[in-house]
Amino acid sequence: MNNRQANQDDARTLAQLIFSSAPVALAATFDINQELSALNFLHSSLLTADGQYGYDNHWVAEIDNQVVGCLSSWHSDLPDSFHQATLINLTGFYGIAHALSVVQASQALQDCIPQPKNNEWCIGHFAVLAEHQRKGVGSTLLDVMHKQALAFDRSVLCLDVESKNSQAIDFYLGHGFVKKNESAVSPRMQTLGIGSHFHLSKVLV
């Protein structure tokens, strides 16, 4: 198994993996019509390096040169250029009018995903192909994030997962994460069909 930063050639497979990590939330946020869809936006954005949905913000796991898992990370010190690149990708794909509606819809995600603290390294877009689950892929990706967090002087790994996703929660608890709190379901979340989320964290040593 090989773990590495993603590149442009991974865009199509990576888009499908990211979408599978939170299909309800991503579709509710990014689907406008069949063409302007979450999956197509992810693929378009992953052809570029920068921003939240750029390939440079993602790590992948490979088996026999096939990408089988992925995750991304963020923290409290992201530069303005990171957020600007995210907006450029949105407006470039959707156009100004639709991009504004997507940005408004994405505000619901902020209701269930807290802003990272200065000591936290946050994980997202975590997915492993179904046929490669329970083979250690997710564990190796978590190890990569553990090392990244320490390299950037962070002492806590954290993530958010929908409270009804018991399989994922059991996986995280088995890797030393603990439940910290559960988000309420805001009106914006309810409108988009997004359920409550658990915030989990793991102190690094």
User: What predicted TM-score, i.e. pTM, was given to this entire model?
Assistant: 0.93
CA nearest 113: which of 184, 164, 61, 11?
184
pLDDT score recorded for residue 109: 79
Q: How confident is the model at residue 114 (pLDDT cuts 50, 70, 90)?
A: confident
Which structural domain range is residue 166 located in?
A: 2-203
What's the mean per-residue pLDDT of the chain? 94
Question: What CATH number does residue 135 fall under?
Answer: 3.40.630.30
pLDDT score recorded for residue 20: 95
* % of the chain residues with pLDDT over 90: 80
| pLDDT at 25 exceeding the cut of 90 | no
pLDDT score recorded for residue 124: 95
CB atoms closer than 10 angstroms to residue 131: 7
pLDDT score recorded for residue 44: 98
How many domains does the chain contain in total? 1
pLDDT score recorded for residue 71: 97
| pLDDT at 176 exceeding the cut of 90 | yes
| pLDDT at 186 exceeding the cut of 90 | no
| pLDDT at 184 exceeding the cut of 90 | no
Q: What are the pLDDT digits (tens) for 26-52? A: 998 999 999 999 999 999 999 999 999
Helix, strand, or coil here: 171? helix
* Token digits of residue 188: 């914006």
Helices vs strands, H then E, count in the chain:
7, 7
| pLDDT at 108 exceeding the cut of 90 | no
